[in-house]
Amino acid sequence: MTETPADRRAACEICELLKDLEAEGRESRDQSMEVDARVRYRRHMREAHRREIPLPR
């Protein structure tokens, strides 16, 4: 069975926190918060989990 980013998020408190910040920014229409959380999440995934998350299209 392969591990998906969602599986890693469930096991990693930092991933969970950053995805929650992204959702909070989206819900409050704070684009700066949303984008910042998304960038930090991608960086964290690259550095901590050695996984590259593709940019949204």
Full pLDDT tens readout for the chain, 57 residues: 345 555 544 679 999 999 999 999 999 999 999 999 999 999 999 999 998 888 777
pTM over 0.95: no
In a domain, 54, yes or no: no
Specify the residue for token string 């069975």.
Answer: 1
Q: How many domains does the chain have?
A: 1
Which token pair is 46?
């690259």
> What is the span of the domain harbouring residue 14?
5-49
In a domain, 55, yes or no: no
- Any domain includes 56: no
- Residue 1's pLDDT is 37
36 assigned to some structural domain: yes
* pLDDT of 4: 58
Question: What gap in Å lies between CA 8 and CA 5, rounded to an integer?
Answer: 5
